[in-house]
Structure 1
Amino acid sequence: MDEKLEHRFPCDSCGADMRFAPQQGQLECDHCGSTDVLEGSGHHFSPIREQDFSDALKGQLDASETEQTNVLACTNCGAQVTFESAVHAAECPFCATPVVTGTGTHRRIKPKGLLPFALDEREAKAAMNDWLGQLWFAPNSLQAYARKGRKMEGIYVPYWTFDAATKSTYRGQRGRYYSTTKTVRVNGKSQTRQVRKIRWSAVRGRVARAFDDVLVLASTSLPKRFTDALEPWDLSSLEPYRPAFLAGFRAEAYTVPLEQGFDEARQIMDRVIERDVKFDIGGDAQKITALDTQVSDVTFKHILLPVWLAAYKYRGQTYRFVVNARTGRVQGERPWSAWKITLALLVGALLAGVSGYFYALSEGLI
């Protein structure tokens, strides 16, 4: 039977939609004040089971591992956000572009785990305002506009995680430094100097590593420099996926296919393996001439990580601010204020001139 990602949880008392409250870790009704505790939250009431990568590529996942969702697709930035079937028009939370729904339903791999929101919107706005206050070269009008109280969107961003066992064989060279004495003539006089050289010797060996939860962004709607800068994520605190955690929030659908995600994970693994090999070679310097890695026991999870997002249309352009909803770390885009930059240059030139004047005065040059 097809499953649909449902974010709505009606209140038993009044029927209004409840929302997940990060601070309390429970569902709350803003209409009548009723609450519903999420039993087991924070205690890993059931393990998060990894999924077989090979089975997924062959389309052999069990039907219970997939779900059918309604997706809102933005024609401007390409973001795909899941939404309730009653929604027919909305504004893209990633770029503030008005979009109309109608992309139909999509069958996707179901999330296995998530990190629940730990910061509420008020705390996210405070973190964003603190960050804006440090951007001296941003226009004051943008800072004022962003602080006027525009609502921030709580969004779960999709990621893949990969586990794998690797065994690598390598050939290379180990370098050892040594010094020799060289005689040179300086101003007609002989002088000796120490010259450092390197002696190379051939080596070969094997290294092995088990990778756990290699994290790969499964979306292209946010710049990767933003999402990378929001790390680290406390993946040890992942909760098994339950729709109740999404009540009152949105969830972005993944747009990076599983196989493409693993290609990126392999690049991350390869960089780690290369460091392992150089450590194994030892010496003062290392060269890797051949490296062959066998990968086995590959498993994966589709997980959701929480961010607070604000997208602003300012003078015809979109600017985005993203807050890690677990740690409060902020990243974002901003324009540069021409008059502030000009003022800074003028002040810098003035200070340099004053400094030069007093230096010349102290040296008796004027």
Structure 2
Amino acid sequence: MQDLSAVQSDLQCRNCAGQCVYDPSQQALVCSSCATRYGLETDRDADAATEFEFDPDAPEADPIETTQTRVHHCETCGGDVVFVGQTLSERCAYCDGPVVLATSDTGYQTKALIPFRVPDRDAQRAALDWVAGRWAAPSSLTSVVSGARVAGLYVPFWTFDSEEAVNYWAKYKVRRNKRTVTRSTSGALRIRFDDLLVPASPHVTPLIRDGILHDFDPRRLRPYRPGYLAGFGAERHHQSVAEGLDANAEDKDLLIRNRIKGHVRKSGVHDIRYTTGTSGIRYRRILLPVWILHYQYDGTPMKVVVCGMQGRTFGERPFSWIKLAGYAALLSALTIGFGLAWGAGGLL
């Protein structure tokens, strides 16, 4: 990210000297004063999908850099959100906690991002539609959420590629007459992982990743430019590549075990052990857009998250215990009625 003064100059309208913000609906910078539009397309947009090779036995090539930017440090969750342009916030985009303002940040250079395509009004509407469709939700929930604050944020992610040469040992169960017998097996397979999407921040929860961001299309990536962040917050990359790979280890282990189960093609596969030789590691440091809507219900903080690319929505919600009790009573009545009708039919 560029120096603060340079960013301010880049975002100044050439027509009236006003400040510009990024408008997702126009996919461009738009002057807040005179509405002049500035496109952000470049001849090198296709290069944003470039992947970078990583050798675990060599020093990392990415230097850590310190820049003068508007940094909001959350006093509740510890998140650091960077703002460019003149947009400021008094609340954390991740947890809605209070923030304190600083003017420097240390992190790794952002390689690329996918710009916002969903404007805030559409994100608010998507959140309300999601809430309205919740089963057994309190009747007042829609009105509570309609007054909630929505924050636009670019969150840091990795994409990882690798080739895995796997040797495995496992057990499985078979039926022999009336007995279940355990057998052992072993084998080898090669697995190619392509664009595994990995959060690069502890603040990016499974709600954000698995709920709305699991469909990643590298063709939407664009080279990092401050203009895309104008009017939005962003968390910088603070993980090294090695740390990112460590963060992906648990998910990768689960994927490998599932591939082994499919390779064995037996039921009851268990006690899986394996070794793997990893090669061909490639990565990207990217930012992905999300809208986070914070609200409180009966004093409990909750949030609804909307993907800034296509509007997919997922979130946290309360239940109405009165409605749940009513549904349970209705289900019990239907079950009893069905049982009586079935019994009466059997007597005829």
If the length of structure 2 is used for normalisation, what is the TM-score?
0.81
Picking from 282, 292, 305, the partner of 1:322 is 305
Are the structure 2 counterparts of residues 3 and 196 from structure 1 closer, same or farther at C-alpha, using a change threshold of 3 Å?
Answer: farther
Matched, 1:82 2:82: yes
After superposition, residues 86-97 of structure 1 pair within 5 angstroms as: 90-97=90-97
User: For the Cα contact (< 8 Å) 2:131–2:141, is it kept in 1?
Assistant: no
My pick for the range that moved more, 331-340 or 195-204, is 195-204
Q: Distance in 2 between matches of 1:327 and 1:312?
A: 22
**Deviations 1:328-361 (CA, angstroms, capped at 9, x unpaired):** 2111222333433344445555656776777788
**Deviations 1:211-252 (CA, angstroms, capped at 9, x unpaired):** 222111122235323431213233322222222211221112
After superposition, residues 209-288 of structure 1 pair within 5 angstroms as: 209-237=191-219, 238-254=221-237, 258-282=241-265, 286=269
SS in 1 for 2:247: helix
Q: Distance in 2 between matches of 1:27 and 1:86?
A: 14
User: For the Cα contact (< 8 Å) 2:108–2:236, is it kept in 1?
Assistant: no
Matched, 1:156 2:154: yes
Picking from 165, 168, 183, the partner of 2:166 is 168
Amino acid at match of 1:326: M
Are the structure 2 counterparts of residues 73 and 57 from structure 1 closer, same or farther at C-alpha, using a change threshold of 3 Å?
Answer: farther
The corresponding residue for 1:44 is: 45
Are the structure 2 counterparts of residues 6 and 138 from structure 1 closer, same or farther at C-alpha, using a change threshold of 3 Å?
Answer: farther
Amino acid at match of 2:45: H
Are the structure 2 counterparts of residues 127 and 200 from structure 1 closer, same or farther at C-alpha, using a change threshold of 3 Å?
Answer: same
Picking from 16, 19, 24, the partner of 2:18 is 16
Q: Distance in 2 between matches of 1:123 and 1:19?
A: 17
Query: Which runs of 5 or more structure 1 residues have no equivalent in the other structure?
Result: 181-194
Picking from 13, 25, 32, the partner of 1:30 is 32
Structure ID, larger Rg: 1
My pick for the range that moved more, 318-327 or 262-271, is 262-271
My pick for the range that moved more, 21-30 or 123-132, is 21-30
The corresponding residue for 2:109 is: 110
Query: Which runs of 5 or more structure 2 residues have no equivalent in the other structure?
Result: none
**Deviations 1:58-95 (CA, angstroms, capped at 9, x unpaired):** 454357xx452443121212222112497786111222
SS in 2 for 1:305: strand
If the length of structure 1 is used for normalisation, what is the TM-score?
0.78
SS in 1 for 2:249: helix
Picking from 301, 304, 312, the partner of 2:287 is 304
Are the structure 2 counterparts of residues 98 and 37 from structure 1 closer, same or farther at C-alpha, using a change threshold of 3 Å?
Answer: same
RMSD across aligned positions (CA): 3.7
Are the structure 2 counterparts of residues 198 and 133 from structure 1 closer, same or farther at C-alpha, using a change threshold of 3 Å?
Answer: same
**Deviations 1:169-194 (CA, angstroms, capped at 9, x unpaired):** 3345677x5765xxxxxxxxxxxxxx
**Deviations 1:17-42 (CA, angstroms, capped at 9, x unpaired):** 2222223222112321211122249x
Amino acid at match of 2:194: D
Q: Distance in 2 between matches of 1:278 and 1:330?
A: 32
Q: Distance in 2 between matches of 1:143 and 1:343?
A: 20
Q: Distance in 1 between matches of 2:266 and 2:343?
A: 52
Q: Distance in 1 between matches of 2:274 and 2:54?
A: 24
My pick for the range that moved more, 4-13 or 242-251, is 4-13
User: For the Cα contact (< 8 Å) 1:89–1:100, is it kept in 2?
Assistant: no
Q: Distance in 2 between matches of 1:275 and 1:362?
A: 48
Using the TM superposition, give the Cα deviation of residue 162 of structure 1 relative to its aligned residue in structure 2, in angstroms. 1.7
Are the structure 2 counterparts of residues 179 and 145 from structure 1 closer, same or farther at C-alpha, using a change threshold of 3 Å?
Answer: closer
Using the TM superposition, give the Cα deviation of residue 113 of structure 1 relative to its aligned residue in structure 2, in angstroms. 1.5
My pick for the range that moved more, 328-337 or 136-145, is 136-145
